[in-house]
């Protein structure tokens, strides 16, 4: 048996649209289940039309992050915009309309306009000091290394802090989402935990510090690498060039032609 291997590459605008029209729609129930399990349902989502690649449907708006209420028709919205990235806001705001009107998202937690922020740790393959290439790129080697770290972190959080968590593949690394009992942690506690974890894990402290609020939406497309953002059970580690659950269907028509590994 042969495994087909799929390249890490930027998705085209048409492929992004096709993804949101087909693949994403089928995951809507799983998205809701996921939010129910790990998090309060988000109040806002954020869409990046194409700030990294410069590829976007509307060039004037392509560089700007667009914010929407989370109770919108997400599949329809994403199909129209065909975005590069999709995020949700981890903050839980006391008065979401007021925060949106006054544009106070950034300082909401510090000013007590948000009561909580989902605690998430970020382990990026780019921070693995991969011997195979320069910084700024990712490959199977460093993605595997970051995957091992993400699951070790999950085990550590459970053993040392009684924190339940879920690991999510982000496309170029992994996020560890901690259950909502810990969303009310203050800045000092977050900092203390960060400092402890940085002794053992290559976390990017910005994401867990509390001052940035966006995180990739599960089941959305990371269009920088053409991979689906997927929560993992951990029973089986994902393989970035072959695991089915992280492959958008548009790639299935275009696997590598020559790279064949024993199945």
Among 33, 73, 94, 132, binds Zn ion (CB under 5 A): 132
CB of 127 to Zn ion, least distance (A): 11
Question: Which residue, 125 or 176, is less far from Zn ion as judged by CB?
Answer: 125
CB of 123 to Zn ion, least distance (A): 14
Task: Candidates 39-47, 100-108, 132-140, 168-176: pick the segment binding Zn ion (CB under 5 A).
Answer: 132-140
Cα 249 to chain center, whole Å?
19
Helix axes 28-38, 74-81, angle to 10 degrees: 120
66-125: contacts with Zn ion (CB under 5 A): none
Residue with smaller CB distance to Zn ion, 142 or 229:
142
CB 134 within 8 A of CB 194: no
Choose the stretch contacting Zn ion; rule: CB under 5 A; options: 61-69, 140-148, 177-185, 232-240: 140-148
CB of 77 within 8 A of CB of 24?
no
- Among residues 45, 114, 130, 238, the one that binds Zn ion under rule CB under 5 A: 130
142 belongs to the binding site for Zn ion (CB under 5 A): yes
Q: List C-alpha distances in Å: 4 to 81, 143, 251, 252.
A: 30, 18, 11, 9
Query: Of 69-77, 133-141, 216-224, 234-242, which segment contacts Zn ion by CB under 5 A?
Result: 133-141
Q: How many other CB atoms sit within 10 Å of the CB of residue 150?
A: 26
Name the minimum Å distance from CB 138 to Zn ion: 6
Q: If binding is defined by CB under 5 A, does position 163 make contact with Zn ion? A: no
Q: Which is nearer to Zn ion, 47 or 130 (CB)?
A: 130
Residues making up the chain, counted from first to last: 263
Residue 139 binds Zn ion, judged by CB under 5 A? yes
Give the span between the Cα atoms of 248 and 209, in whole angstroms.
Answer: 32
Other CB atoms closer than 10 Å to residue 60's CB: what's the count? 8
Q: Does 145 bind Zn ion (CB under 5 A)?
A: no
144 binds Zn ion (CB under 5 A): no
In the complex, minimum distance from the CB of residue 142 to Zn ion, in angstroms, rounded to a whole number? 3
Smallest gap from Cβ 124 to Zn ion, in A, equals 11
Distance CA 242, CA 225 (A): 13
Give CA angle at 183 (178, 189), nearest 5°: 95
| Tokens (6 digits) for 121 | 């740790």
> Token pair of 189, please?
């506690």
Burial of 61: CB neighbours in 10 Å, binned 0-12, 13-18, 19+ = middle
141 is an interface residue for Zn ion by CB under 5 A: yes
Residues interacting with Zn ion, by CB under 5 A? Answer: 130, 132, 139, 141-142
């Amino acid at each position: 048996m042969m495994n087909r291997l799929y390249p890490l590459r930027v998705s085209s605008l048409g492929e992004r649209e096709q993804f949101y029209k087909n693949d994403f729609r089928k995951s809507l129930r799983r998205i809701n289940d996921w939010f129910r399990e790990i998090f309060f349902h988000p109040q806002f989502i954020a869409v990046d039309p194409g700030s990294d690649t410069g590829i976007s449907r509307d060039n004037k708006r392509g560089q700007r992050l667009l914010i929407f209420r989370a109770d919108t028709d997400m599949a329809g919205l994403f199909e129209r915009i065909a975005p590069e990235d999709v995020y949700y806001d981890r903050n839980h705001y006391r008065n979401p309309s007021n925060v949106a009107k006054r544009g106070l998202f950034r300082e909401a937690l510090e000013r007590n306009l948000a009561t909580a922020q989902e605690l998430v740790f970020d382990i990026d393959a780019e921070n693995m000091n991969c011997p195979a290439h320069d910084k700024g790129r990712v490959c199977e080697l460093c993605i595997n290394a970051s995957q091992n770290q993400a699951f070790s972190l999950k085990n550590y959080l459970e053993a040392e802090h009684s924190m339940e968590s879920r690991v999510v593949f982000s496309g170029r690394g992994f996020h560890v989402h901690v259950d909502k009992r810990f969303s009310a942690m203050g800045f000092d506690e977050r900092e203390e935990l960060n400092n402890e974890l940085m002794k053992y894990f290559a976390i990017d402290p910005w994401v867990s510090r509390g001052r940035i609020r966006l995180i990739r939406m599960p089941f959305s497309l990371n269009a920088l690498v053409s991979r689906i953002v997927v929560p993992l059970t951990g029973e089986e580690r994902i393989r970035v060039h072959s695991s089915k659950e992280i492959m958008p269907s548009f790639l299935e028509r275009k696997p590598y032609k020559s790279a064949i590994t024993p199945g």
